Chain A
Amino acid sequence: MNKEPIKFRKERLDRGIKARCEDIFALSSYREILYLLLPRVLPVALLLVFPLFKDIVGLYWEKVLVITCAIALLSLSWDWLASVGLISLGQALFFGVGAYVTGSLNYAFKWPPLITIPLGTLGGALICTLLLLPVLRLRGVYFAIVTLTLPLLLMRFIETTKILGGTEGLSALTPLPSLWVELYVPVFTLLICLFGFRRLINEDYGLVLQGIRDNDRAVMSGAINIYWFKTQAVFLAALVGSFPGAFMTHYYQFVGMPAFALDYSILPLTAAVLGGVGTFAGPTLGAFILVPLSEVLRAFGTLRVVFYSAILIICVVGLPEGVFHYIRRKYHQFERMVEVG
């Protein structure tokens, strides 16, 4: 009589606390409040406080924060498009068009940033949406190809026709009024966009968009004009993508061909993949890992890109789900071995 071996399997359990306290009952215990609020409040608080310590951390890192926010906004816009099923390879299009609209408005009419940045954001988003309108009817790689090509096309167009300053670009634009504006406008915009998108994707509107990603024919047979919804989604993404362009124009007091650089396409994408696609918080986190990391690695000189790419590859291969998904899973769930049989 051979004895059956005892078999084990790993069981995954929710921390449970979450189910109990998503409404008013959360107020009954400070520990539950902390459990719920900590992952949201702590990063936001850090982000808001960081500019206040500019004397301690130095102006250099404050500038890194601005660039990080810009990349984070672009990756948010990428993630928004991805959650409609449109994979974009050219966030630089949004960035560049926003930058050029703002720059030329300021250059031509000498309007202050308070007017040109909103106008540049809106105008850039409109132009991008119109440019992308023809490909929205197609499924598959077409959207990716067109978004990849358009920034390159516009860059060469400006270079050869010498409009909008040509290769030299438009310089001596109006600077932003103060350092606090420079630091806090991107931070607040990032927070508004992040939480706005997170909210919007869970509303009915967001459900339609996710439905288009999963099965557009089923959405169509639900009497919904998916092209109109896709247009709206692209407009929103272009809005969020154009803002950093418009802002950085006044920040650098310069707009030129680098606004269409491939960096602005690739960095947001890698940030989103590293952080975890589809969560909005993930791409933001990814941007806040990647951009400062690339600054830290400057110490390695020319080997910087090698280290940077190696770290990126290790992260993506090791954690294909994304850093944010991993952290969230570990935070909300725990595992234990249980006996089976």
Chain B
Amino acid sequence: MLEVKNLMVFFENALAINDLSLEVHQGEIVGVLGSNSAGKTTLMNTLSGLIIDMKKKEDRRGGERITVLGEIRYEGQEITLIEPYERVKRGIVLSRERHPIFPDSSVEENLKIASVLRKDQEIRKGMDFVYQIFSHLKEIRKRKAGFCSGGEQQMLSIGMALMTKPRLLLMDEPLLGLSPILQKDLIRATKQIRKEGVTILVTEQFARPLLPAIDRGYVIENGVLILFGTGRELMENPEVKAAYFGV
């Protein structure tokens, strides 16, 4: 479904992603593991196209020059240099790191804002789907999103991504700042989303809750792919154990 070949991203002269290749097949949950500054968020921004926008803005201001080289193919089509909104229309949706939401709108309004691509009669259906996955959101749907807790905002952020009818959902550090119980809930929700036919690519630092849930995983470090395998293989790999389980 998604195929990344020899991707390289430079921020000015710093190499953020170095010669990365990965594949995501239909219906999988694929994890990208890495510590801070491994290039996870850059990878997500590149896949979702946000980096194209950043690049244009920086070029206009004469700031850092961002260079993207390599090839990203989505369902057989080259999308490396396509604008982010175009990618969302094709079904690649990013739920960004640190759950950005519209703080002055209510939870329900946030979900409505995210459903521009849907027809009116579909919005209700999509919202029911989100409420079915995150039942807690239904209870707080009238509350201002800015006053929601971190976990609720994270659910809302993923819910908003779901409202845009994704076929490939990119989740950037969904577990960041959540308690272990909420992390478990979220991973259960992720599996449920996959059952609805959404392919998921998720980046994370916390390997322990994530690894059992993913089909395949890639481990990156300083922008370089160092390991890949199925979730089980990675769990038993001594290097991963040492680096991410603290054994």
Scan B62-73; emit 1 where CB is below 8 A from any A CB, else 0. 110101010000
A319 neighbours in B (Cβ, 8 Å): 62
Scan A295-308; emit 1 where CB is below 8 A from any B CB, else 0. 00000000000000
The closest CB in chain B to the CB of A4 belongs to B6
B61 neighbours in A (Cβ, 8 Å): 320-321
A55 interfacial by beta-carbon distance below 8 Å: no
A340 interfacial by beta-carbon distance below 8 Å: yes
Chain B interface extent, by class: 10 to 19
Instruction: Report Cα–Cα, A341/B8, bound state, in Å.
Output: 9
Instruction: Report Cα–Cα, A96/B19, bound state, in Å.
Output: 61
**A329 adjacent to B10 (CB under 8 Å):** no
Most buried by A among B8, B10, B62, B65: B62
The closest CB in chain A to the CB of B62 belongs to A321
CB distance from A276 to the nearest CB of B (A): 10
**A320 adjacent to B67 (CB under 8 Å):** no
**B62 adjacent to A329 (CB under 8 Å):** yes
Instruction: Report Cα–Cα, A9/B67, bound state, in Å.
Output: 7
Instruction: Report Cα–Cα, A326/B62, bound state, in Å.
Output: 7
B78 interfacial by beta-carbon distance below 8 Å: no
A213 interfacial by beta-carbon distance below 8 Å: no
A7 interfacial by beta-carbon distance below 8 Å: yes
A320 neighbours in B (Cβ, 8 Å): 60-61
A63 neighbours in B (Cβ, 8 Å): none
Scan B195-207; emit 1 where CB is below 8 A from any A CB, else 0. 0000000000000
From the candidates B8, B12, B60, B62, name the one contacting A340 in the complex (CB within 8 A): B8
Scan B36-68; emit 1 where CB is below 8 A from any A CB, else 0. 000000000000000000000000111101010
**A340 adjacent to B65 (CB under 8 Å):** no
A12 interfacial by beta-carbon distance below 8 Å: yes
From the candidates B6, B10, B60, B63, name the one contacting A9 in the complex (CB within 8 A): B10
CB distance from A172 to the nearest CB of B (A): 50
Instruction: Report Cα–Cα, A341/B15, bound state, in Å.
Output: 12
B13 interfacial by beta-carbon distance below 8 Å: yes
A326 neighbours in B (Cβ, 8 Å): 62
**B62 adjacent to A12 (CB under 8 Å):** no
From the candidates B6, B8, B65, name the one contacting A12 in the complex (CB within 8 A): B65
Instruction: Report Cα–Cα, A319/B61, bound state, in Å.
Output: 7
Instruction: Report Cα–Cα, A7/B5, bound state, in Å.
Output: 14
B19 neighbours in A (Cβ, 8 Å): 341
**A340 adjacent to B69 (CB under 8 Å):** yes
From the candidates B13, B60, B65, B69, name the one contacting A7 in the complex (CB within 8 A): B69
**B10 adjacent to A325 (CB under 8 Å):** no
Scan A319-331; emit 1 where CB is below 8 A from any B CB, else 0. 1110001100100
A10 interfacial by beta-carbon distance below 8 Å: yes
CB distance from B24 to the nearest CB of A (A): 23
A23 interfacial by beta-carbon distance below 8 Å: no
**B12 adjacent to A12 (CB under 8 Å):** yes
Instruction: Report Cα–Cα, A325/B60, bound state, in Å.
Output: 12
Give B residues with C-beta under 8 Å from A. 6, 8, 10, 12-13, 19, 60-63, 65, 67, 69
For the complex of A and B, the 9 pairs showing the least CB-CB separation, nearest first, are A9-B67, A321-B62, A321-B61, A7-B69, A320-B60, A320-B61, A329-B62, A340-B69, A11-B13
Given contacts A12-B13, A321-B61, 16 further A-B pairs with CB under 8 A are: A7-B69, A9-B10, A9-B67, A10-B65, A10-B67, A11-B13, A12-B12, A12-B65, A320-B60, A320-B61, A326-B62, A329-B62, A340-B69, A341-B6, A341-B8, A341-B19
